[in-house]
Amino acid sequence: MTHPPRGLYAGLMSGTSVDAIDTALVRIDQDIALEHCHSHPLPPALRDAIAAISHSGADEIERLGVLDRQLGALFAEATLALLESANTAPEAVTAIGSHGQTVRHRPPSGGHSREEAFTLQLADPNTIAELTGITTVADFRRRDIAAGGEGAPLAPAFHAQAFSSPGSRRAVVNIGGISNISLLDGQTLVAGFDSGPGNTLMDHWIQRHLGEPFDRDGAWAATGKVDHALLALLLQHPYLALRGPRSTGKEAFNLAWLDEVLEASGSQPGAADVQATLALFTAQTIAAPVLEEHGIDAVFVCGGGAHNRELMRVLGTLLAPIAVASTEALGIAPDWVEAATFAWLASRTMAGLHGNAPAVTGASEERILGGVYPGRGPAISATQAPEVG
Protein backbone atom coordinates (compact mmCIF):
# COMPACT_ATOMS: atom_id res chain seq x y z
CA MET A 1 0.00 0.00 0.00
CA THR A 2 1.36 3.43 -0.95
CA HIS A 3 2.61 5.56 1.92
CA PRO A 4 1.08 9.04 2.36
CA PRO A 5 3.39 12.01 2.84
CA ARG A 6 5.14 12.37 6.16
CA GLY A 7 3.54 14.49 8.83
CA LEU A 8 1.83 14.78 12.17
CA TYR A 9 -1.88 13.94 12.30
CA ALA A 10 -4.50 13.88 15.05
CA GLY A 11 -7.13 11.13 15.11
CA LEU A 12 -10.46 11.48 16.92
CA MET A 13 -12.81 8.60 17.70
CA SER A 14 -15.98 8.14 19.71
CA GLY A 15 -17.27 4.61 19.38
CA THR A 16 -20.46 2.71 20.05
CA SER A 17 -19.64 2.52 23.77
CA VAL A 18 -20.09 6.34 23.92
CA ASP A 19 -17.81 6.64 26.94
CA ALA A 20 -15.21 9.18 25.77
CA ILE A 21 -13.52 10.77 22.79
CA ASP A 22 -10.24 8.97 22.19
CA THR A 23 -7.60 11.19 20.62
CA ALA A 24 -4.21 10.22 19.22
CA LEU A 25 -1.31 12.24 17.86
CA VAL A 26 0.32 10.12 15.19
CA ARG A 27 3.47 10.66 13.15
CA ILE A 28 3.16 9.15 9.70
CA ASP A 29 6.56 8.27 8.25
CA GLN A 30 7.83 5.03 6.78
CA ASP A 31 6.40 3.71 10.04
CA ILE A 32 3.36 4.75 12.06
CA ALA A 33 4.32 6.15 15.46
CA LEU A 34 1.86 7.00 18.22
CA GLU A 35 3.36 10.11 19.85
CA HIS A 36 0.69 11.06 22.37
CA CYS A 37 -2.85 10.20 23.38
CA HIS A 38 -5.66 11.64 25.44
CA SER A 39 -9.12 10.44 26.49
CA HIS A 40 -11.65 13.26 26.68
CA PRO A 41 -14.82 12.67 28.71
CA LEU A 42 -18.28 12.94 27.18
CA PRO A 43 -20.56 14.87 29.56
CA PRO A 44 -23.58 12.83 30.75
CA ALA A 45 -26.01 15.22 29.06
CA LEU A 46 -24.36 14.62 25.69
CA ARG A 47 -24.27 10.85 26.24
CA ASP A 48 -28.00 10.97 26.93
CA ALA A 49 -28.59 13.09 23.82
CA ILE A 50 -26.62 10.60 21.69
CA ALA A 51 -28.65 7.70 23.09
CA ALA A 52 -31.89 9.56 22.40
CA ILE A 53 -31.03 10.52 18.80
CA SER A 54 -29.96 6.94 18.05
CA HIS A 55 -33.65 6.04 17.92
CA SER A 56 -36.47 7.70 16.00
CA GLY A 57 -38.39 10.28 17.97
CA ALA A 58 -40.02 13.70 17.96
CA ASP A 59 -38.15 16.80 16.76
CA GLU A 60 -35.30 14.67 15.38
CA ILE A 61 -33.88 17.17 12.89
CA GLU A 62 -33.75 19.97 15.46
CA ARG A 63 -32.09 17.75 18.07
CA LEU A 64 -29.69 16.30 15.52
CA GLY A 65 -28.57 19.73 14.29
CA VAL A 66 -27.89 21.00 17.81
CA LEU A 67 -26.10 17.81 18.85
CA ASP A 68 -23.94 17.87 15.72
CA ARG A 69 -22.65 21.34 16.64
CA GLN A 70 -22.22 20.44 20.31
CA LEU A 71 -20.19 17.36 19.45
CA GLY A 72 -18.13 19.35 16.95
CA ALA A 73 -17.22 21.80 19.73
CA LEU A 74 -16.39 18.93 22.11
CA PHE A 75 -14.22 17.18 19.51
CA ALA A 76 -12.38 20.47 18.98
CA GLU A 77 -11.93 20.79 22.74
CA ALA A 78 -10.57 17.23 22.85
CA THR A 79 -8.08 18.04 20.08
CA LEU A 80 -6.80 21.15 21.81
CA ALA A 81 -6.47 19.23 25.09
CA LEU A 82 -4.47 16.54 23.27
CA LEU A 83 -2.11 19.10 21.76
CA GLU A 84 -1.71 20.98 25.03
CA SER A 85 -0.80 17.79 26.90
CA ALA A 86 1.63 16.88 24.09
CA ASN A 87 3.16 20.38 24.13
CA THR A 88 2.48 20.59 20.41
CA ALA A 89 1.32 23.68 18.53
CA PRO A 90 -1.75 23.33 16.28
CA GLU A 91 0.37 24.64 13.41
CA ALA A 92 2.50 21.49 13.64
CA VAL A 93 -0.46 19.25 12.78
CA THR A 94 -1.07 18.57 9.11
CA ALA A 95 -4.69 17.51 9.60
CA ILE A 96 -7.24 16.05 11.98
CA GLY A 97 -9.04 12.84 11.08
CA SER A 98 -12.40 12.80 12.87
CA HIS A 99 -14.59 9.72 12.86
CA GLY A 100 -17.38 11.48 14.72
CA GLN A 101 -20.13 9.73 16.66
CA THR A 102 -22.24 7.16 14.83
CA VAL A 103 -25.96 7.60 15.46
CA ARG A 104 -27.30 5.44 12.59
CA HIS A 105 -25.80 2.62 10.53
CA ARG A 106 -27.99 1.04 7.85
CA PRO A 107 -25.62 -0.99 5.62
CA PRO A 108 -26.51 -3.24 2.67
CA SER A 109 -25.83 -6.35 4.76
CA GLY A 110 -28.68 -5.23 7.02
CA GLY A 111 -31.15 -5.76 4.20
CA HIS A 112 -31.14 -2.18 2.93
CA SER A 113 -31.03 -1.54 -0.81
CA ARG A 114 -28.07 0.31 -2.30
CA GLU A 115 -30.30 3.39 -2.68
CA GLU A 116 -31.54 3.22 0.92
CA ALA A 117 -28.31 2.22 2.70
CA PHE A 118 -26.70 4.98 4.76
CA THR A 119 -24.53 5.71 7.75
CA LEU A 120 -24.46 8.89 9.82
CA GLN A 121 -21.78 10.26 12.14
CA LEU A 122 -22.14 13.52 14.10
CA ALA A 123 -19.51 16.08 15.25
CA ASP A 124 -19.60 18.96 12.77
CA PRO A 125 -16.17 19.11 11.06
CA ASN A 126 -16.71 22.77 10.17
CA THR A 127 -16.85 23.52 13.88
CA ILE A 128 -13.75 21.40 14.57
CA ALA A 129 -11.76 23.20 11.86
CA GLU A 130 -13.01 26.61 13.00
CA LEU A 131 -12.20 26.14 16.68
CA THR A 132 -8.83 24.40 16.25
CA GLY A 133 -7.59 26.18 13.14
CA ILE A 134 -6.51 22.78 11.81
CA THR A 135 -7.65 21.28 8.51
CA THR A 136 -10.12 18.54 9.36
CA VAL A 137 -11.00 15.42 7.40
CA ALA A 138 -14.30 13.79 8.34
CA ASP A 139 -17.30 11.83 7.07
CA PHE A 140 -15.13 8.89 6.01
CA ARG A 141 -17.82 6.25 5.77
CA ARG A 142 -20.42 7.66 3.39
CA ARG A 143 -18.27 7.60 0.23
CA ASP A 144 -17.79 3.87 0.64
CA ILE A 145 -21.57 3.47 1.08
CA ALA A 146 -22.09 5.51 -2.10
CA ALA A 147 -19.74 3.11 -3.92
CA GLY A 148 -21.93 0.17 -2.88
CA GLY A 149 -19.98 -0.74 0.24
CA GLU A 150 -20.83 -1.24 3.88
CA GLY A 151 -19.03 1.90 5.02
CA ALA A 152 -17.50 -0.29 7.73
CA PRO A 153 -15.28 -1.53 9.09
CA LEU A 154 -12.58 0.88 7.94
CA ALA A 155 -9.94 -0.21 10.46
CA PRO A 156 -8.76 -3.35 8.59
CA ALA A 157 -6.83 -1.29 6.01
CA PHE A 158 -4.97 0.38 8.88
CA HIS A 159 -4.44 -2.95 10.62
CA ALA A 160 -2.80 -4.28 7.46
CA GLN A 161 -0.51 -1.24 7.30
CA ALA A 162 0.41 -1.17 10.99
CA PHE A 163 0.26 -4.79 12.17
CA SER A 164 1.02 -7.13 9.28
CA SER A 165 4.21 -9.15 9.11
CA PRO A 166 5.69 -11.19 6.22
CA GLY A 167 5.26 -14.90 6.77
CA SER A 168 2.70 -14.51 9.56
CA ARG A 169 -1.05 -15.18 9.36
CA ARG A 170 -2.67 -12.89 11.90
CA ALA A 171 -6.08 -11.78 13.05
CA VAL A 172 -6.50 -8.33 14.55
CA VAL A 173 -9.65 -8.05 16.64
CA ASN A 174 -11.06 -4.73 17.76
CA ILE A 175 -13.48 -5.17 20.67
CA GLY A 176 -15.35 -1.91 21.11
CA GLY A 177 -19.10 -1.71 21.47
CA ILE A 178 -19.16 -3.88 18.34
CA SER A 179 -16.29 -6.22 17.41
CA ASN A 180 -14.52 -6.29 14.07
CA ILE A 181 -11.90 -8.65 12.72
CA SER A 182 -9.08 -8.19 10.19
CA LEU A 183 -7.53 -11.31 8.68
CA LEU A 184 -3.95 -10.82 7.47
CA ASP A 185 -1.88 -13.25 5.42
CA GLY A 186 1.59 -11.77 5.55
CA GLN A 187 1.09 -8.19 4.34
CA THR A 188 -2.12 -9.03 2.46
CA LEU A 189 -5.50 -8.07 3.90
CA VAL A 190 -7.54 -11.20 3.21
CA ALA A 191 -10.83 -10.06 4.77
CA GLY A 192 -12.34 -7.83 7.40
CA PHE A 193 -15.83 -7.59 8.89
CA ASP A 194 -17.85 -6.85 12.01
CA SER A 195 -18.16 -10.14 13.87
CA GLY A 196 -21.03 -9.06 16.12
CA PRO A 197 -21.25 -7.65 19.64
CA GLY A 198 -18.24 -6.46 21.56
CA ASN A 199 -18.79 -4.75 24.89
CA THR A 200 -22.23 -3.32 24.14
CA LEU A 201 -24.46 -6.08 25.57
CA MET A 202 -22.29 -6.64 28.64
CA ASP A 203 -22.05 -2.88 29.28
CA HIS A 204 -25.80 -2.31 29.07
CA TRP A 205 -26.62 -5.37 31.17
CA ILE A 206 -24.39 -4.28 34.05
CA GLN A 207 -25.66 -0.71 33.77
CA ARG A 208 -29.20 -1.98 34.18
CA HIS A 209 -28.50 -4.27 37.14
CA LEU A 210 -25.58 -2.76 39.05
CA GLY A 211 -25.48 0.83 37.79
CA GLU A 212 -21.86 0.41 36.71
CA PRO A 213 -20.71 1.76 33.32
CA PHE A 214 -18.93 -1.50 32.45
CA ASP A 215 -17.87 -4.82 33.94
CA ARG A 216 -14.34 -3.97 35.09
CA ASP A 217 -11.98 -6.87 34.32
CA GLY A 218 -15.08 -8.99 33.63
CA ALA A 219 -15.23 -9.57 37.38
CA TRP A 220 -19.04 -9.80 37.52
CA ALA A 221 -19.22 -12.18 34.55
CA ALA A 222 -16.63 -14.39 36.26
CA THR A 223 -19.04 -14.92 39.20
CA GLY A 224 -21.83 -16.23 36.97
CA LYS A 225 -22.63 -19.58 35.37
CA VAL A 226 -23.26 -19.82 31.65
CA ASP A 227 -26.88 -20.56 30.68
CA HIS A 228 -26.38 -22.80 27.64
CA ALA A 229 -30.04 -22.69 26.56
CA LEU A 230 -29.86 -18.89 26.44
CA LEU A 231 -26.51 -19.05 24.65
CA ALA A 232 -27.96 -21.31 21.95
CA LEU A 233 -30.74 -18.80 21.28
CA LEU A 234 -28.34 -15.84 21.19
CA LEU A 235 -26.24 -17.67 18.61
CA GLN A 236 -29.27 -17.88 16.32
CA HIS A 237 -29.10 -14.15 15.54
CA PRO A 238 -29.37 -13.93 11.72
CA TYR A 239 -26.38 -11.60 11.42
CA LEU A 240 -24.07 -14.38 12.58
CA ALA A 241 -24.96 -16.51 9.55
CA LEU A 242 -23.81 -13.84 7.07
CA ARG A 243 -20.56 -14.20 5.15
CA GLY A 244 -18.59 -11.81 2.98
CA PRO A 245 -18.59 -8.02 3.54
CA ARG A 246 -20.80 -7.22 6.49
CA SER A 247 -21.19 -4.69 9.27
CA THR A 248 -23.55 -4.19 12.17
CA GLY A 249 -24.23 -2.00 15.18
CA LYS A 250 -26.36 -1.51 18.26
CA GLU A 251 -29.38 -1.52 15.97
CA ALA A 252 -28.96 -5.31 15.83
CA PHE A 253 -27.44 -6.12 19.23
CA ASN A 254 -29.15 -4.27 22.08
CA LEU A 255 -31.04 -4.76 25.33
CA ALA A 256 -34.44 -4.88 23.63
CA TRP A 257 -33.28 -7.83 21.53
CA LEU A 258 -31.70 -9.49 24.57
CA ASP A 259 -34.97 -9.10 26.51
CA GLU A 260 -36.84 -10.79 23.65
CA VAL A 261 -34.39 -13.71 23.65
CA LEU A 262 -34.61 -14.05 27.44
CA GLU A 263 -38.40 -14.19 27.23
CA ALA A 264 -38.25 -16.76 24.42
CA SER A 265 -35.81 -18.93 26.39
CA GLY A 266 -38.36 -19.58 29.11
CA SER A 267 -35.57 -19.71 31.68
CA GLN A 268 -34.91 -17.23 34.45
CA PRO A 269 -31.14 -17.06 34.91
CA GLY A 270 -29.68 -14.75 37.51
CA ALA A 271 -28.29 -11.43 36.34
CA ALA A 272 -24.67 -12.57 36.85
CA ASP A 273 -25.41 -15.75 34.90
CA VAL A 274 -26.69 -13.66 31.99
CA GLN A 275 -23.49 -11.61 32.12
CA ALA A 276 -21.38 -14.78 32.02
CA THR A 277 -23.44 -16.00 29.07
CA LEU A 278 -23.00 -12.70 27.25
CA ALA A 279 -19.23 -12.92 27.74
CA LEU A 280 -19.13 -16.39 26.19
CA PHE A 281 -21.54 -15.32 23.42
CA THR A 282 -19.31 -12.37 22.55
CA ALA A 283 -16.17 -14.53 22.61
CA GLN A 284 -17.77 -17.21 20.43
CA THR A 285 -18.87 -14.70 17.77
CA ILE A 286 -15.23 -13.54 17.58
CA ALA A 287 -13.57 -16.95 17.74
CA ALA A 288 -15.76 -18.74 15.19
CA PRO A 289 -14.77 -16.71 12.09
CA VAL A 290 -11.11 -16.67 13.17
CA LEU A 291 -11.13 -20.46 13.38
CA GLU A 292 -12.79 -20.67 9.95
CA GLU A 293 -9.69 -19.01 8.48
CA HIS A 294 -7.28 -21.92 8.75
CA GLY A 295 -3.66 -21.28 9.61
CA ILE A 296 -4.00 -18.17 11.81
CA ASP A 297 -0.95 -18.25 14.09
CA ALA A 298 -1.65 -15.23 16.32
CA VAL A 299 -4.55 -13.02 17.38
CA PHE A 300 -4.00 -9.44 18.55
CA VAL A 301 -6.79 -7.61 20.39
CA CYS A 302 -7.42 -3.87 20.64
CA GLY A 303 -10.28 -1.76 21.97
CA GLY A 304 -11.71 -1.62 25.46
CA GLY A 305 -12.46 -5.34 25.44
CA ALA A 306 -8.73 -6.04 25.62
CA HIS A 307 -8.93 -5.00 29.30
CA ASN A 308 -11.76 -7.41 30.13
CA ARG A 309 -9.79 -10.25 31.71
CA GLU A 310 -12.69 -12.68 31.77
CA LEU A 311 -13.53 -12.04 28.10
CA MET A 312 -9.87 -12.44 27.13
CA ARG A 313 -9.62 -15.65 29.19
CA VAL A 314 -12.66 -17.15 27.48
CA LEU A 315 -11.45 -16.00 24.06
CA GLY A 316 -8.04 -17.54 24.70
CA THR A 317 -9.66 -20.83 25.68
CA LEU A 318 -11.79 -20.91 22.52
CA LEU A 319 -8.84 -20.08 20.26
CA ALA A 320 -6.21 -22.33 21.87
CA PRO A 321 -3.53 -23.15 20.82
CA ILE A 322 -3.49 -19.88 18.83
CA ALA A 323 -1.62 -17.20 20.78
CA VAL A 324 -3.78 -14.27 21.94
CA ALA A 325 -2.27 -10.92 23.00
CA SER A 326 -3.11 -7.22 22.86
CA THR A 327 -1.79 -4.89 20.15
CA GLU A 328 0.55 -3.48 22.80
CA ALA A 329 2.88 -6.26 21.64
CA LEU A 330 2.87 -4.70 18.16
CA GLY A 331 3.63 -1.17 19.29
CA ILE A 332 0.22 0.49 19.76
CA ALA A 333 -1.70 0.18 23.02
CA PRO A 334 -5.20 -1.25 22.51
CA ASP A 335 -7.05 1.88 23.62
CA TRP A 336 -5.61 4.05 20.85
CA VAL A 337 -5.74 1.90 17.72
CA GLU A 338 -9.04 3.30 16.45
CA ALA A 339 -8.05 6.93 16.97
CA ALA A 340 -4.75 6.20 15.21
CA THR A 341 -6.75 4.65 12.36
CA PHE A 342 -8.49 7.92 11.61
CA ALA A 343 -5.27 9.92 11.82
CA TRP A 344 -3.88 7.54 9.19
CA LEU A 345 -7.02 7.77 7.06
CA ALA A 346 -6.77 11.57 7.15
CA SER A 347 -3.20 11.35 5.90
CA ARG A 348 -4.34 9.25 2.97
CA THR A 349 -7.18 11.59 2.09
CA MET A 350 -4.85 14.59 2.18
CA ALA A 351 -2.50 12.75 -0.19
CA GLY A 352 -5.28 11.78 -2.60
CA LEU A 353 -4.95 8.07 -1.73
CA HIS A 354 -7.78 5.61 -1.23
CA GLY A 355 -8.74 4.68 2.33
CA ASN A 356 -11.23 1.85 1.86
CA ALA A 357 -10.56 -1.82 1.14
CA PRO A 358 -13.21 -3.18 -1.26
CA ALA A 359 -12.40 -6.75 -0.16
CA VAL A 360 -13.63 -5.70 3.28
CA THR A 361 -16.52 -3.33 2.63
CA GLY A 362 -17.78 -4.68 -0.70
CA ALA A 363 -17.44 -1.30 -2.41
CA SER A 364 -17.22 -1.44 -6.20
CA GLU A 365 -13.76 0.19 -6.22
CA GLU A 366 -11.15 1.90 -4.07
CA ARG A 367 -12.18 5.42 -3.10
CA ILE A 368 -10.64 8.49 -1.46
CA LEU A 369 -12.67 8.84 1.72
CA GLY A 370 -13.97 11.86 3.58
CA GLY A 371 -14.44 15.55 3.05
CA VAL A 372 -11.69 18.10 3.71
CA TYR A 373 -12.54 21.19 5.78
CA PRO A 374 -9.69 23.74 5.61
CA GLY A 375 -8.36 25.12 8.86
CA ARG A 376 -7.83 28.67 9.91
CA GLY A 377 -5.16 30.18 12.09
CA PRO A 378 -4.24 30.83 14.69
CA ALA A 379 -6.27 28.34 16.72
CA ILE A 380 -8.10 29.47 19.84
CA SER A 381 -6.88 28.03 23.12
CA ALA A 382 -8.64 25.21 24.94
CA THR A 383 -9.81 27.65 27.61
CA GLN A 384 -11.51 29.79 24.95
CA ALA A 385 -13.48 26.91 23.45
CA PRO A 386 -17.18 27.17 24.24
CA GLU A 387 -18.59 24.99 26.98
CA VAL A 388 -20.66 22.05 25.78
CA GLY A 389 -23.08 19.67 27.40
* Residue numbers belonging to the annotated binding site: 15-22
From the annotation, which residues make up the binding site for ATP? Answer: 15-22
Distance CA 248, CA 272 (A): 26
Distance CA 8, CA 90 (A): 10
CB proximity list for 48: less than 8 A, separation 6 or greater:
none
Distance CA 332, CA 277 (A): 30
Going by C-alpha positions, the residue among 232, 241, 238, 224 that lies closest to residue 265 is: 232
CB 54 within 8 A of CB 103: yes
